[in-house]
Amino acid sequence: MDHQNGDDMSNTNSLNLDSHKGRLLKDVLLALEQAGHRTCVLHGYKDYPEHVSSDVEIICDDPTQIPSVLSRRQTAMIVRASRFKGSYTDYRFVLYKKYGDDSVFLTYDVSADYRLFGLRFFTGKEFLETRRPFKFFKVPPAELEFCSYLVRKIVKGSLNEAQAQRLTELYQEDPTGCERQLSRFFPETAARLIVDSAKTENWNPIRGRLNSLRRELLQRKAREQPREWLLHRLGIPLRRFRRRFRALVQPPGLMVAFLGVDGSGKSTVIPQVERDLSPAFNHTKPYHKRSFRSALNWIRQRRAGGPRPQAHSARGEKSISTRHGAHRRPPRKFAGSLAKLLFWWLDYTLLGYVMDVYPSLARSTLVLFDRYYYDLLVDAKRYRYGGPLWPIRLVSRLIPRPHLVILLDAPPEVLYARKQDAPFAEVRRYREAYLDLVRGLSNGHVIDASKPLNEVIAEAEQIILDYLAERTARRFKYNEYR
């Protein structure tokens, strides 16, 4: 019975999410139309708005104006934006909006013209001036959708059954128009083969000739647009370098450190934040305390024949005081403490950040830390540090700063009731030290962790999303969403 209830709740949540995605789709397209920006949804719209399963592809009058339009009308937050050139799309926008308790993300691929490999196959004007109504938005006429969809499948070199069926449906809507469009791109023999496949609903002959059709198609367009083709071919290495350089200079990922006294709820909040915000990133990666495990522990484990520990496998890991009784072990002596402090600096900079975290950020990864170097400033005893505090403060200025530091705070009575690993007086001291630390950070935020869990998670996610929206607005130079 419980299993059935769980399935029912999962199905209900899925239906709600589909409904909210459809609502966001409608809000965005209507906002653009009302602002005087014509749009045309290209493909995959048959089940809209009831089911929006993938990226929404649209042709628009001026894609560069989309951020300012949505921002000005407060339609949605743009939490991530990417520019492309010579690809299948000009811009990619990841939009976010909250409907009730549901966080909804939707990705829009927006172009001014229909290009493949730097070659313009259709102008945006062709789509926008001939578009036809479909529900609350506009779509291409059958002949344009048929030919543009076919061209893309041929260039990509794949055509599955569902895609072939859609091509047949479009051809049957307007055979004359579809054949007229085919003559623009294919020689008579190839066009006749495509028409026969559409009429007989047997696309196997086309699948068997995808490579040759692709070659003929690109060669024909290259002859028509030699300058664009040459620039595309010569510019491939430059574009790759530019994309990688931009990702290194302005990493699309985000690094967030969660701090808090044991019992504040970090191990519960972090996994949920990771799941909820994963649609805004290509990857997610959680860490516990630091990104690089102790080299000595790694050597010992390798000698014992055990597997190498994963840097990001510590989600939900118990606090070190519970597992190893770190507070009960004596601190290291002065020399040992300074040596350990040097290792921590190497850990958080070269071994951790430079070699692991920063490359992840460049690959659009949400990096979440459960604890960070800052804990050493609050609770040096946990890490058996026995030296003065000024070296810790000095090194803290040389440690890579997270984009955001979020403190899960609660009254000491609440923290002590949840977890009694330290005396109440120590819990109170740690809590006050964390508050002083985070309030002194320009990127620090404090959340009342004594509130209901869903409110704590929602507030943490909103802090992250607000930062993403402001950063995107700053990088694309438009007024941020408010």
- Greater confidence, 343 or 365? 365
User: What would the mean pLDDT of 402-406 be, rounded to a whole number?
Assistant: 96
pLDDT tens, 453-481?
999 999 999 999 999 999 999 888 875 44
Domain segments of the chain: what residues?
2-246, 253-450
Query: CATH: 3.30.70.2660, 3.30.70.120, 3.40.50.300, 3.65.10.10. Which one for 253-450?
Result: 3.40.50.300
User: What would the mean pLDDT of 373-380 be, rounded to a whole number?
Assistant: 86
pLDDT computed for residue 103 by the predictor: 86
Q: How many Å apart are CA 401 and CA 441, to the nearest integer?
A: 10
Which pTM does this prediction carry? 0.82
Give yes or no for residue 53 having a pLDDT over 80. Answer: no
User: Among 6-15, 127-136, 150-159, whose mean pLDDT is lowest?
Assistant: 6-15
List 408's β-bridge partners, or say none: 447
List 369's β-bridge partners, or say none: 257, 287
Give yes or no for residue 331 having a pLDDT over 60. Answer: yes
pLDDT tens, 59-101?
999 998 899 899 888 899 999 998 876 567 889 999 999 888 7
The H-assigned helical ranges of 347-452 are 358-362, 374-378, 390-396, 412-418, 424-439
Helix (H) or strand (E) holding 440: none
pLDDT computed for residue 133 by the predictor: 96
Parallel, antiparallel, or unpaired for β 365-370 and 254-259?
Answer: parallel
pLDDT computed for residue 396 by the predictor: 86
Confidence of residue 14 (pLDDT cuts 50, 70, 90): low
